[in-house]
Structure 1
Amino acid sequence: MLPATEMKVPPPKKNRNDPLHIIKTRQQTHGRPATIAGPMVRYSKLPFRQVCRDYDVDIVYTPMMLAREFVRNAQARITDFSTNDADTPTIIQVGVNNTTDLLRFVEMVAPFVDGVGINCGCPIKEQLREGIGCAMIYNEELLVEMVKAVKDKYGDTLRLETKIRIHEHTAPERTLRMCKQLCEVGVDWITVHGRLRTTRSSQPVDLDAIKYIVDGLSDYDVPVVANGDCFTKSDMERIAAFTGAKGVMSARGVLSNPALFAGYDVCPWGCVERFVNYCIEFGGLPFQLAQHHIFCMFESMKLSKDHIRGLMNTRSMPAMLDWLDEHFDLRRPDEAEFGERIEAPMHEL
């Protein structure tokens, strides 16, 4: 496992994939849009990313990392980002509000990832006050400057994405104009979360707004990825067909069910076994995060409140593994049907 410390060590990742090529060609090669697991604060770390790849996810994002902290703090780099040669294609997402920090961040991470995504969609107030996340779509000139600086330096050797929300409904042309400016300075693709800065996730995503941007960028060779309200494979197909997007991203959906793009409407038990195995194999994931991942999967499986309560009452990784073994037939990689079963194999009481 390779912590992202300084540029000189460790050596660059051996296996690299071009996410832009995947997004542009998945419809022709697989008969579907590119499938993407989006960035989630804390949760889209290495073990979870690998589970997603086991279930037809083409591209996976890291959690958002703050450029200023990452660049200045070695402990932040070690804590926030780990990878390995199988972790590809991976896009590292960054929260940043100036070109200098972005260029320093990119220089440090470029050898270890397949692309960098600038977060222009996070609506959290603390980030907005720092000029990060969704604040960037209201600072178009700076955003365009940052994209241009990275692409001028790296060209096609590094893929660069922007993940945006949409401006107010009274100004859809503002969002489109910004996207065109990003295309003109070399952005490789644009992910559009079809909600306003103030729209709650409980409100439906605005697919018309995403379609408006897709149609408006038809003269550019820059694909659009649609984000929002993708919880099943049929959602993915519907969103892509309506918007014309080349890819569909899910975040909340894959958190509960990493296998949704593979056609499972409910999280299969195999996800739990694979996730536990990757946590042990890769190490480094805090227990509370691992516990929360399994909690989300259990909720998708609609397991009983007693099972969920028992899981959440464990206080360490060994205790959680013992509890899982006591209540379920939790198999290891060298055992038959490891990672393949669908129904939760509960022990009879």
Structure 2
Amino acid sequence: MKMKIDVNDLFHDAKSNDTYVKVCAPMVRYSKVQFRTLVKNYGVDLCFTPMILADSFCQNEKARTNEFITTVNDSPLVVQFAANNVDDFLDATKLIYSYADGVDLNCGCPQRWAMKDGYGCALLSQPELIHSLLRTVRNNFPSNFSVSVKIRILHELKKTITMCQQLEKCGIDFMTVHGRTPVQKSGDMINVDSLREVCETVRIPVIANGGIKTLDDADQLHKTVKCSGVMAASAILSNPALFSGSNKTPFSCIRLWMDMKDKSEDRITFQCYHHHLVFMLEKILTKKQKQEFNNLGTFENVDIFLKRYVLNSYDYNISHNINCDIDDYVTCHFDDKITTKHSSKCRGCSKSVCYCICDKYDQNATTGNYFSSFVINNDGIEYMDSNIFDE
């Protein structure tokens, strides 16, 4: 078991110092352990995992292997699950309890596939279910293991306030409130007034989310709505040093990303390494250089490009004074009783006894391809699609 960090202490310490907790958002396929380690070197206090489907995590070994990797120093860490029933959410939380500092229920994802399957924003219309999910998990774990929820505001302020007050009564430790409604786009303005009303009404810490591009944006949002924390998503991908005050990705950050890859090349996919750099180099490369970089296909060619066009004047002997210890991975042991119970369920309807036509799910389950096929067929996310962010 990893040493626990009480997430509540982060909010208490921040309040004592008249500041706020700086948070890296849960982002599909991008909030992996390597990136979490990177941003914690540049002012981030708290990281979330990507949103993980609780049912797939319980049922499928490949899902657990792909979606949850951690290290000894990967803390404080909150694991975010998408769940639409208590059994999945509770058992998924039990599986990761020894390796994380808290669990979060996603009630803010607006993607069509999530809404269709009763995840994310779909839960906002089922307050009784949300209450049951959160209350059950809260009652089954000690107080130093945080339980939280991430939501979006509703069209009506009164309903938003009522919802947040009801969530607080579930016994959760904090909530993240995205300042847009489920139907708004990522470029739309956030509703600052609603965020401020929520922060003034509830007594638990509130992390405000949406529209953060720079540290000044985060400072201003904290000052305006009096939130306990500020969460960044797309902007921190483009600039992992955002919370340290940098306006674009510093060379030291790029160099650290390369070092982390060298230390754990067997643990990081080329896609992950390359995609993150595409974001990081957005404000650094010319249009022609971007086209060339986007078409590179090997670790070696990426590093050659970086040394030639980006780090050609960088002093590699500079002492970073930052943590590059990404090789101390934790071997996660998941309870066989839980995983066996869920693996016997139908892949289509998630029931132990199947009453539907689920041949394609059963076939994928036996071959271990279900989780990958689910993402490919249902995610609807293209390369560099901004919809990967619940922002």
TM-score by length of 1: 0.88
Is contact 1:269-1:339 (8 Å) kept?
A: no
Unaligned runs of 5+ in 2: 322-391
The Cα of 1:27 is off from its aligned counterpart by 3.4
- From 262, 265, 275, give the equivalent of 1:292: 275
The Cα of 1:339 is off from its aligned counterpart by 4.9
Unaligned runs of 5+ in 1: 1-11, 341-349
Distance in 1 (alpha carbons) for counterparts of 2:211 and 2:310: 31
Bigger mean CA offset, 282-291 vs 37-46: 282-291
Is contact 2:214-2:242 (8 Å) kept?
A: yes
Alpha-carbon displacement from aligned partner over 1:45-100 (angstroms, at most 9, x marks no partner): 11111110000100011111000100000111011110011111111111110100
For 2:295, the equivalent position in structure 1 comes to 313
| Corresponding pairs, count | 320
Is contact 1:214-1:244 (8 Å) kept?
A: yes
| Residue identity matched to 1:74 | E
| Residue identity matched to 2:171 | G
Q: Within 5 Å, give how 1:173-322 maps onto structure 2.
A: 173-217=158-202, 220=203, 222-283=204-265, 284-301=267-284, 303-322=285-304
Q: Percent identity?
A: 30
For 1:94, the equivalent position in structure 2 comes to 81
Is contact 2:179-2:209 (8 Å) kept?
A: yes
Partner of 1:156, secondary structure, is coil
Is contact 1:24-1:223 (8 Å) kept?
A: no
Distance in 2 (alpha carbons) for counterparts of 1:233 and 1:241: 12
Is contact 2:199-2:227 (8 Å) kept?
A: yes
TM-score by length of 2: 0.78
| Residue identity matched to 2:147 | L
| Residue identity matched to 2:290 | I
Distance in 1 (alpha carbons) for counterparts of 2:277 and 2:320: 14
- From 336, 340, 348, give the equivalent of 2:317: 336
The Cα of 1:155 is off from its aligned counterpart by 3.5
| Residue identity matched to 1:18 | D
Distance in 1 (alpha carbons) for counterparts of 2:263 and 2:149: 32
Alpha-carbon displacement from aligned partner over 1:213-272 (angstroms, at most 9, x marks no partner): 11121xx3x111100011111101100011010100001111111111111112211111
Distance in 1 (alpha carbons) for counterparts of 2:35 and 2:319: 17
Is contact 1:257-1:267 (8 Å) kept?
A: yes
Distance in 1 (alpha carbons) for counterparts of 2:255 and 2:306: 10
**Cα distance 1:91–1:316, how it changes in 2: closer, same or farther (>3 A)?**
same
**Cα distance 1:319–1:211, how it changes in 2: closer, same or farther (>3 A)?**
same
For 2:60, the equivalent position in structure 1 comes to 73
What is the RMSD of the two structures over their aligned residues, measured on CA atoms? Answer: 1.8
For 1:9, the equivalent position in structure 2 comes to none
| Residue identity matched to 2:186 | S
Q: Within 5 Å, give how 1:44-59 maps onto structure 2.
A: 44-59=31-46
For 1:16, the equivalent position in structure 2 comes to 4
| 2:136 pairs with 1:149 | yes
